[in-house]
């Protein structure tokens, strides 16, 4: 469905130090540098897949999505979406896709969302009956109610985002590029958006690429993740494999019915936290079964819990490792 | 098929554009009143003409009534050929907001055109009363030839096409330079002088009047106004209309070429 091969986007950026002298100098002689926003990435995504596209700020995620949706022309390399070359912006292609950007809106600010939906109906040439049915469906699923008849400017951020998503789906796109769709939303609204996105994917078989700084979005929606950093691909695989690769240990939490010394728990793994009645340890996944068996056999264990490290921690470690590697280089 | 789908969408684009114009009605009225320069010029020139008639090319005398008819016509034409796509394109390119238009299966230039045209009914609210005043007070100075009135809408359409596509061309320059608004200012300065907006071209010296014939500006304002005010016969108007549509055609080609090559440089800032 989506195939990227050797995709690059390099920008020529005017560079100027601060100050009047530099400003005057730049009138006559300008200095430029080449910024490699995306520097040769390859991957492909099958129809109906849900893929998380991750990376630190400035990694090139949004640039990649903009090239895949036809907004940006690649410097070199190739991208195809359902057989189309996005930058040609053929109508057939544009009818199949939608890019939802959490920080950009398509809703008309002073008019109710219903007017934007009607405009999209006309532009996407959606038959009236299909439009009415789809809008009803979206209104129910997203609980839009009377929101669609209020001027957009009077809606809260969460309400606006829901209306935005409905507007993006009026034409039933087969490919959804979601760039930070839950940014700024409260927790309950984030959960509602995630549920809706998953349901849309399952019911319509739509292919979905999601970028988000909220790892809960990724964990809830994306069995596969692609990580890029400084424009280059650094991981492509299952989310749990990424976690294992970055943090091979799991977190073992033990609660005791009687005080236990630090030395007694040290044999089980690396101590993160120790109190007489509780200990948190990092244990290699391969050694977890043995550690749990030993704890139950030798210690007064009242309760235990085994969990993966939080995804935020995993990603933060991944990104800081790559930053450190760059600094060394 | 593609063209039919776009044509089917036009009534909805106009309808939504009109809703937007109604939402911005106060701003719209301020805009309309901001273009009252012809009325100020009318007062200025009528005062001059009351002291002694102004003599134009060929010895034609311009009395105060002639200036009233001329500048009221200029006001009406200016309202009806207005376009502001250059500012919109410039803003949307710089802010990255053009992205949302580019994602839709419709040429963004067409959507800019429809949103500009959708403001016409709101402009009519101001121009129709002025037109009525013009007909009541200066009917004898307006053309009495019905064939000329038939050509007038054609001249208005031609004038609007030049204005709109010049806007698109200048707006498209913002793909290449940081901001093209200053270029629009230069264009507008030339427009004010050579279109007949501030003074009738007939009052220009011969060499400047000939130069104006070869520039696009007089076909935006001067030609429709000269048709209204009986300065042109059908025979004299037809070659001028041909020149006007040649300019319109050149503007369409130039603006679409600039757009096509500029869009490759669009950086879709933000997001």
CB-based contact, A95 to chain B, within 8 Å = yes
Average model confidence (pLDDT) for chain B?
90
**How many CB contacts within 8 angstroms connect chain A with chain B?**
83
Percent helix, strand, coil in chain B (nearest 5)?
Answer: 75, 0, 20
Residue B259 lies in a domain: yes
Q: How do residues A114-142 score in pLDDT, each as one tens digit?
A: 999 999 999 999 999 999 998 998 888 88
Q: What is the pLDDT of residue A71?
A: 92
**B218, B241 Cβ separation under 8 angstroms:** no
Choosing among A104, A131, A149, A178, which should be mutated to test the B contact, i.e. which has the most B CBs within 10 A?
Answer: A104
Q: Evaluate if residue A225 carries a pLDDT over 90.
A: yes
Percent of chain B topping pLDDT 70: 98
Residue B26 confidence (pLDDT) above 90 = no
Looking at residue A126, its pLDDT comes to: 92
Closest by CA position to B268, among listed A87, A12, A72: A72
In a domain, B268, yes or no: no
Query: What's the mean pLDDT in B206-221?
Result: 93
| B269 in a structural domain | no
**B264 and A73 in contact by Cβ < 8 A?**
yes
Give the pLDDT of residue B271. 53
Find the range with the poorest average confidence among A227-241, A268-282, B16-30, B151-165. B16-30
B271 inside domain: no
Residues of chain B with Cβ-Cβ distance to A101 below 8 Å are 99, 271
Interface of B with A in 85-104 (CB under 8 A): 96-97, 99-100, 102-104
Q: Tell me the per-residue pLDDT of A158-190, one tens digit each, with 9 for 90 and over.
A: 888 889 989 998 999 999 999 888 887 778 878
- Residue B138: inside a domain, yes or no? yes
Contact of B22 with chain A, judged by CB distance below 8 Å, is answered with no
Please choose, from the candidates B89, B259, B271, B99, the residue with its C-alpha nearest in 3D space to the C-alpha of residue A72: B99
Give the three-state DSSP class for B216. coil
Work out the pLDDT band at A4, boundaries 50, 70, 90: very high
Residues 6+ apart with CB under 8 A from A222: A50, A51, A52, A210, A239
More confident residue, A141 or A324: A141
Confidence band, pLDDT 50/70/90 cuts, at residue B58: confident
Indicate the residue of B102, B105, B106 with minimum beta-carbon distance to A71: B102
How many angstroms separate the CA atoms of B22 and B28, rounded?
Answer: 8
Provide the pLDDT for residue B183.
Answer: 93
Rounded CA-CA distance A131/A121 in Å is 7
CA distance A53 to A55: 7
- Our measurement of the distance from residue B100's CA atom to the centroid of its chain's CA atoms, rounded to an integer in Å, reads 27
Q: Is the pLDDT of residue A33 over 90?
A: no
Q: Is residue B85 part of a domain?
A: yes
Between B30 and B222, name the one with better pLDDT: B222
Q: Yes or no: say if B130 and B72 are a contact pair by the CB < 8 Å rule.
A: yes
How many C-beta atoms lie closer than 10 Å to residue B63's C-beta?
14
Q: What's the residue count for chain A?
A: 329
B19 lies within 8 A of chain A by CB: yes
The reported pLDDT for the residue numbered B270 is 65
Residues A7 and A64 sit within 8 Å (Cβ to Cβ): yes
Domains parsed from chain A with CATH numbers: 2-8+40-243 (3.40.50.300), 248-307 (3.30.70.980)
Residue B1, pLDDT score: 47
Question: Taking a C-beta distance cutoff of 8 angstroms, is the pair A38, A58 a contact?
Answer: no
Residue B229 located in a structural domain = yes
Q: Do B20 and A91 touch (CB under 8 A)?
A: no
Share of chain B above pLDDT 90, in %: 61
The mean pLDDT of A267-284, rounded to a whole number, is: 90
Please report the ipTM that was assigned to this predicted complex: 0.81
Quick one: pLDDT band at residue B2, thresholds 50, 70, 90?
low
Point out the residue among B20, B104, B271 whose CB comes nearest to the CB of A179: B271
Residue A327, pLDDT score: 67
Pairing of strands A175-179, B54-55: unpaired
Token couple for B15? 């309808």
Task: Flag whether B270 is in a domain.
Answer: no
CB-nearest partner of B271 from A70, A87, A101: A101
Inter-chain contact B264–A94, Cβ cutoff 8 Å? no
SS (H, E, C) chain A: CEEEEEEEEEEEEEECCCCHHHHHHHHHCCEEEEEEEEEEEEEEECCCCEEEEECCCCCCHHHHHHHHCCCCCCCEEEEEECCECHHHCCHHHHHHEEEEECCCCCCCCCCCHHHHHHHHHHHCCCCHHHHHHHHHHHHHHCCCHHHHHCCHHHCCHHHHHHHHHHHHHCCCCCEEEEECCCCCCCHHHHHHHHHHHHHHHHHHCCEEEEECCCHHHHHHHCCEEEEEECCEEEEEEEHHHHHHHHCCEEEEEEEECCCCCHHHHHCCCEEEEEECCEEEEEEEHHHHHHHHHHHHHHCCEEEEEEECCCHHHHHHHHHHHHHHHHHHC
pLDDT of B34: 75
For residues B173-193, give the mean pLDDT. 92
Per the structure, how many domains does chain B have? 1
Classify B62 as helix, strand or coil.
Answer: strand
Structure confidence by residue, pLDDT tens digits, A50-87:
999 988 888 889 999 999 999 999 999 999 999 999 99
Going by C-beta distance under 8 Å and a sequence separation of 6 or more, which residues neighbour residue B30? none
Three-state SS string across B79-127, please? HHCCCCHHHHHHHHHHHCCHHHHHCCCCCHHHHHHHHHHCCHHHHHHHH
Q: Rounded to 10 degrees, what is the CA torsion of A293, A294, A295, A298?
A: 130
Q: Are B45 and B68 in contact (CB under 8 A)?
A: no
Domain of residue B152, residue span: 2-263
Q: Which two tokens stand for residue B73?
A: 């016509």
Look at residue A326 in the predicted model and tell me its pLDDT.
Answer: 65
Q: pLDDT averaged over chain A?
A: 88
CB contact under 8 A, B5 and A125: yes
Name the nearest CA neighbour of B251 among B262, B263, B239, B243. Answer: B243
């Amino acid at each position: 469905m989506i195939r990227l091969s050797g995709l690059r986007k390099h920008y020529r950026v005017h560079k100027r130090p601060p100050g009047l002298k530099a400003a005057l100098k730049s009138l006559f002689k300008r200095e430029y540098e080449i910024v490699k926003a995306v520097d040769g990435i390859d991957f492909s995504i099958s129809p109906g897949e849900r893929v998380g596209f991750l990376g630190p700020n400035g990694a090139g995620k949004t640039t990649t999505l903009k090239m895949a949706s036809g907004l940006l022309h690649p410097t070199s390399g190739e991208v195809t979406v359902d057989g189309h070359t996005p930058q040609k912006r053929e109508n057939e292609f544009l009818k199949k896709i939608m890019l939802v950007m959490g920080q950009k809106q398509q809703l008309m600010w002073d008019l109710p969302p219903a007017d934007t939906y009607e405009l999209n109906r006309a532009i996407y040439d959606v038959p009236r009956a299909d439009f009415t049915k789809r809008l009803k469906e979206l209104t129910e699923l997203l609980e839009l109610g009377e929101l669609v008849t209020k001027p957009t400017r009077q809606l809260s951020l969460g309400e606006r985002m829901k209306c935005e998503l409905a507007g993006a789906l009026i034409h039933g796109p087969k490919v959804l590029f979601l760039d930070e769709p839950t940014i700024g939303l409260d927790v309950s609204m984030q959960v509602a958006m995630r549920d809706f996105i998953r349901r849309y994917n399952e019911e319509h078989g739509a292919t979905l690429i999601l970028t988000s700084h909220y790892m809960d979005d990724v964990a809830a929606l994306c069995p596969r993740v692609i990580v890029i950093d400084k424009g280059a691909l650094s991981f492509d695989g299952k989310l749990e494999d990424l976690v294992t690769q970055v943090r091979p240990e799991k977190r073992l939490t033990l609660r005791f019915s009687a005080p236990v010394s630090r030395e007694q728990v040290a044999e089980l793994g690396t101590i993160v936290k120790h109190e007489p009645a509780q200990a948190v340890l990092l244990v290699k996944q391969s050694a977890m079964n043995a550690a749990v068996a030993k704890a139950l056999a030798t210690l007064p264990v009242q309760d235990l819990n085994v969990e993966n490290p939080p995804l935020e921690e995993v990603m933060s470690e991944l990104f800081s490792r790559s930053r450190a590697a760059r600094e060394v280089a | 098929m593609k063209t039919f789908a776009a044509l089917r969408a036009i009534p909805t684009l106009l309808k939504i554009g009109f809703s937007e114009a109604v939402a911005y009605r106060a701003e719209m009225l301020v805009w309309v009143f901001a273009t009252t320069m012809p009325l100020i010029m009318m007062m200025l020139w009528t005062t001059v003409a009351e002291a002694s008639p102004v003599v134009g090319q060929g010895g034609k005398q311009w009395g105060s009534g002639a200036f009233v008819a001329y500048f009221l016509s200029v006001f009406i034409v200016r309202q009806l050929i207005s376009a502001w796509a250059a500012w919109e394109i410039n803003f949307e390119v710089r802010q990255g907001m053009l992205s949302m238009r580019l994602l839709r299966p419709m040429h963004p230039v067409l959507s800019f055109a429809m949103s500009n045209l959708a403001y016409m009914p709101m402009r009519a609210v101001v121009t129709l009363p002025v037109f009525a005043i013009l007909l009541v007070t200066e009917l004898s100075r307006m053309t009495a030839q019905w064939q000329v009135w038939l050509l007038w809408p054609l001249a208005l359409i031609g004038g609007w096409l030049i204005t709109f596509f010049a806007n698109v061309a200048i707006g498209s320059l913002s793909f290449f330079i940081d901001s093209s608004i200053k270029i629009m200012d230069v264009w507008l300065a030339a427009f004010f002088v050579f279109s007949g907006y501030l003074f009738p071209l007939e009052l220009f010296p011969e060499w400047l009047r000939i130069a104006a014939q070869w520039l696009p500006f007089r076909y935006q304002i001067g030609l429709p106004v000269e048709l209204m005010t009986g300065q042109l016969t059908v025979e004299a108007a037809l070659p001028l209309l041909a020149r006007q549509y040649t300019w319109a055609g050149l503007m369409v080609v130039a603006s679409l070429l600039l757009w096509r090559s500029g869009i490759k440089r669009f950086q879709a800032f933000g997001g």
